[in-house]
Structure 1
């Protein structure tokens, strides 16, 4: 068995394609350090300069009203619930303006599946943001929201994609992937579309020039084989479209939701999954660590397991924070994590183009205002920028 594992690791490290059965064997049986070394060899081959990127963006939620009622979600409120809320366009634009002042290049507009929000709502929202802040990339919503808006408006997926693209949507987030295989998906999100349907929306979007990211939430009771199956389903679509820019696994957060933390993924499970993902996704360029859900220490360790992107400062984040993600960061911390791991930090944009490469410590940014926040739900007027 050792010889078999060594052969798979070497082939993958050399850029070869491995099967899902081989990926499962590596995930469950490969020695941890050998697994990490092989994944890091792929990273070095792809990014020989040793650059690790980060992003400055803001996650802005337009509503927490949702009809889907996913069991792992602590953010949503059912329609007519006393704690349900919706932000008007003026408030969303205010938050976009704060983000721009702090150097953000992207906003992620996300919300619940509001029963009244069809394609027309998103057309108005995206066009308003683009008109006010054309420099901001709108990397937003996910296939679940697209399916919901198409149903509300009575149009096809294709029509919905084309209309929101014309209104200003630049890129689709990997939101709503959770677990794509049927059994675990039905267990945690029985009212949500199937994983195959989620991927179908992504494929339609890719064919119309709207790229996306892909995510995975691990730790809600899925098996090791189902984790690998999730990745296989994504890779099959990527073979056809090439539209996924990055894969971003993250860990389920246990507070304030119906699952109540009965199952969770360990840091070791996460790091092994990260390494296997780098070896498995020969056709996906970027691999992002989720310091928000795992902590900055595990996020930094992931940089030695094939990761080339440390994600976002996230000036605002409400959804995962509502479920207990308590990790915070700031621009200085994130750059330090990258540099102290022996990598070269670089700020990127949505398309992973380098905006600023911090070749030496003298190049490092010093803006102390750029810091992440748990949540703005309680404090709607989040003081990100001074009144002056």
Structure 2
């Protein structure tokens, strides 16, 4: 494994085909999935020269906590479907790499056990139909020592992930959403032909009526920093910043929600302009390398969330596989910073970029 992206081929050698499709697949014809990578490929950095880069710092404070990189592990559901050690292995790798880990509502390991690894832990929340259960999860996350709540706002229902539907995807035996306990909605069960059991479970428990006014209810029930994940339109970003949220994640869910949505990287500059520094700005969807991280920083992000490469590393080698992915990302970012004459991340934010047509920002 010489790059984070190399983990994909290694994971393919060990994952069951259905699980590999579940991890790597996206919604619809997967147009947005491919567009996310195309956006990175057509964006070019304009490096500077003659700066002292004998020492390069990749450190950043994210949501009030020091991080060795401008990177956090994205919320990734059902990690025990990929490796028996699941979220515990990933959280320990994040701790070893000095970056935050985001525990998911649909985690296959309890948030208390994840936080007990010592990793800086954020908690990703889906807006549940059962408001009492939502409040219970918030209290559990706070009691466990989580440092932030990340509300996913782009999933009123699950996107039509055709690979899962065609294969009638069901989670492997013994893997379930443990935060739902023995409730009937905690285990996806079997899927009928043309359906996904995971999508069916999501439809059962996620409330599609989530509105702006509900943020007040959430604020009243937690003192943790509030992050909204899944914002692409600058009007939504401006409204969110005006509501006092602590951070936004510019994301199209890795292409797994609305197929045909704008590549997240293309949406980032306008969102950054709309936010104008009023809250932190994170980015995900398509990040595969340290240079990708640098491009996101140059377009206005304070940090990125890393998703699929983490799962590929987990599948390929458990804790050590994830740690290898994160350390390679760190090496690539440090090298990219040095070659662009950026001794730190503040300098990275001042880099100019050019698109495929030559327009420079």
TM range (shorter): 0.3 to 0.5
Q: Which has the higher contact order (CA 8 A, sep 6+)?
A: 2
TM score, norm. by length of structure 2: 0.40
